[in-house]
Amino acid sequence: MTIKLPFFHFLNTLIHILTLSYISGSLIFLNLIAPSVKNEEKKDSVKLIYKFTNFLPFFLLIFVATNIIYILLDESFLTILRKNSNIQVLTMIYIPFFFAFILITLYLQRRIDKLLKINIFSLIEREWRRIRIDLSVLLEFQVVMVIIEILILYLK
């Protein structure tokens, strides 16, 4: 494995781990508190989820940028990608999961934005179950993406 600029590679890895920690940690936290939210606190929880979905695209952009920088820093990765069919399959699985993660995030953000603009408590009550389902799906997609990244690094 030949890596150009080892300090830059270390910095890139550190930023990648921090963004991954924010995305995964926030999703785990929101999935843990969502079932225990009482009726009176649902509006505040929806506002918290809205703030999370506002910052999530920025962290996803950094996440993608660190992946691309890693590929550019590691000269052998592209040759391994061309030769190793297992990594090709994992990459072909990873890309749709990533785009689906982005689309679900945008869908959740729009839904919560509409709920907060309408500001009807009974509507928030009705949509709460769907919001919880979307959060758990986002967490599952994130776990699958992390597992695929680990497998790619292991097979490399």
Residues 20-59: tens digit of each pLDDT? 999 999 999 988 888 888 877 888 888 888 888 888 888 9
pTM score above 0.85: no
Query: Quick check: 81 pLDDT over 70?
Result: yes
Q: Are 153 and 72 in contact (CB under 8 A)?
A: no
Residues 6+ apart with CB under 8 A from 144: 97
How is residue 2 annotated by DSSP? -
15 exposed, middle or buried (CB, 10 Å; 0-12, 13-18, 19+)?
middle
* pLDDT-based confidence at residue 2 (cuts at 50, 70, 90): low
Q: What is the largest CA-CA distance in the chain?
A: 58
- State the CB neighbour count (10 A cutoff) for residue 104: 15
Indicate the average pLDDT of the chain. 86
